[in-house]
Copies of this chain bind each other. A is one copy, B any other.
Amino acid sequence: MAFKVLARDKHSLARVGKLITRSGSVETPFFMPVATKTAVKHVSPEMLEAMGVNATISNSFVLSLRPGASVVKKLGGIRALSSYKGVMFTDSGGFQMYSPSLYKGSTDKGVEFKNPYSGERIFMTPEQNMQLQLDLGSDVAMCFDTMPLIAHSKEAVSLAVTRTTNWACRCKETHDALQKKISKKKRQLLFGIVQGGIHDDLRRVSAEALTQLDFDGFSIGGLALGEAKEDEYRMIEVCQGYLPRNKPVYLMGAGNPVELLEAIERGCDMFDSRFPTMNARHGNIFSWKGKYIVTNAEYKTSLKPLDEGCACMVCKRYSRAYICHLIRNEEGVGYQLASYHNLYFLQELMRRVRKAIRAGKFKEFKKKFIREYEGR
């Protein structure tokens, strides 16, 4: 079993669990920073470890372009490359279908990408993507999916669901075959990805189909893309109605603190997003009293820490004035300190969530957090 439930909230689907991988365990719910090329922007592996980040997610397709799968394989995988000690996820590359510099088109067979460095065309099948993620040596791999956008017609979303299901079968089959000779404890985990846009019936079709396959966990993809929050939360509820309760559920792309709590309440166990680090680089700071923009003029002379309620290394030492000054001047150290704080904030939020669930106080915790964070 790759997942154990350790505690359940009595009033919601919120739960504390443990994701068990060949490289260690991570308590759920957890948030993982995005390390597309095996490094989080401006935050080094030892900084991640210092703040208690136990998992990151990299992108298999992007890594296949540079430094290349053969280079990573020769090194011994992305852990040997980066020396990061936590659990390493890889995404498949389905998301890159929305990168105009990379994506050329797709068929039922697979996806045509362009290598932006060499101009070379690359045709990637689900089977090849499984081999790629195994070569990269991540602990948890994602199926190669077709992600529709919220703006797409229902017909297009429906076709994407069909293709995602079809590819999920091919991924699972290939992945099982490739790992046949590896002992169970050393196996890479594989998650299926549910698509379906904001259509209840398509989410149901997708979730039901994937549940037929014995994945180690299930991801909910194609959300947190700018759709209305009520649509996002309803879609989570629909998916949860069909996904098995003994498997971990990963809401992809979510990183807004309130969104995480809403998703946890609806049974989600893990999250990733560029949201905290991208926000940090723009001076948008998470705090227990809400998000604010540290580059605003009012903070130029503030000797207060980024967040008076925060115990992170940055808040213990640096002022808003310094970080305001550095980010206004596009200094790397400014990005580093603000990113560190925002990531720490989500780690601490997840620690408090797990504690609250264990104490049977998740609902109260959530209510209080949102009231203070949103200033209501």
A interface with B by C-beta (< 8 Å): 37-46, 66-67, 71, 74-76, 80-83, 300-301, 303, 313, 317-319, 321-322, 324-326, 328-329, 331-337
B333:A81 contact, CB within 8 angstroms = no
- 6 new A-B contacts, CB < 8 A, other than A42-B333, A75-B303, A81-B319, are A42-B336, A46-B317, A71-B301, A83-B317, A332-B335, A336-B336
Interface pair B318/A83, CB less than 8 Å apart: yes
Asked whether A41 and B332 contact (CB < 8 A) given A66-B325, A83-B318, the answer is yes
Q: Chain B: which residue is nearest A67 at the CB level?
A: B325
A-B pairs with the 5 shortest C-beta distances?
A42-B332, A39-B333, A67-B325, A39-B331, A44-B333
Query: Whole-angstrom distance between the alpha carbons of A326 and B43 in the complex?
Result: 12
Which residues from B are CB-within-8-Å of A66?
Answer: 325, 328-329
- Chain B residues with Cβ below 8 Å from A321 are 67, 71, 75, 81
12 A-B pairs, CB-CB below 8 angstroms? A39-B331, A39-B332, A39-B334, A66-B325, A67-B321, A71-B301, A71-B321, A76-B303, A81-B321, A81-B322, A82-B322, A83-B317
Selected from B43, B71, B300, B318, the residue in CB contact (under 8 A) with A333 is: B43
Q: What residues of B have a CB within 8 angstroms of the CB of A67 in the complex?
A: 300, 321, 324-325, 328
Instruction: Assess A332 versus B336: contact at CB under 8 Å? Given A71-B301, A301-B71.
Output: yes
CB distance from A336 to the nearest CB of B (A): 6
Give complex CA distance A71, B298 in Å.
11
Please tell me how many copies of the chain the complex holds: 2
Query: Which of B37, B80, B303 contacts A326 (CB under 8 A)?
Result: B37
Nearest-neighbour CB distance to chain B for A272, whole angstroms, equals 18
* Residue of A325, A326, A329, A331 ringed by the most chain B CB atoms within 10 A: A325
* Closest residue on chain B to residue A76 by CB atoms: B303
Question: Which residues of B are found within 8 Å of A324, using beta-carbon distances?
Answer: 67
Q: Measured between alpha carbons, how far is A301 from B75 in the docked complex, in Å?
A: 6
- A39 pairs with B326, CB closer than 8 A: yes
A71–B80 CA distance with the chains assembled, in angstroms: 46
Nearest opposing residue in chain B for A317, CB measure: B83
Contact A319 B83 (CB under 8 A): yes
**Are B75 and A38 neighbours in the complex by a CB distance under 8 Å?**
no
Q: If A81-B319, A318-B83 touch, does A38 touch B337 (CB 8 Å cutoff)?
A: no
What CA separation (Å) do A37 and B334 show in the bound complex? 11
Chain B neighbourhood of A325, CB < 8 A: 37-38, 66-67, 81
A331, B41: Cβ atoms under 8 Å?
A: yes
A326 contact set on B, CB distance < 8 A: 37, 39
The docked-state distance in angstroms from the alpha carbon of A114 to that of B318 is 31
Residues of B within 8 A of A83 (CB): 317-319, 322
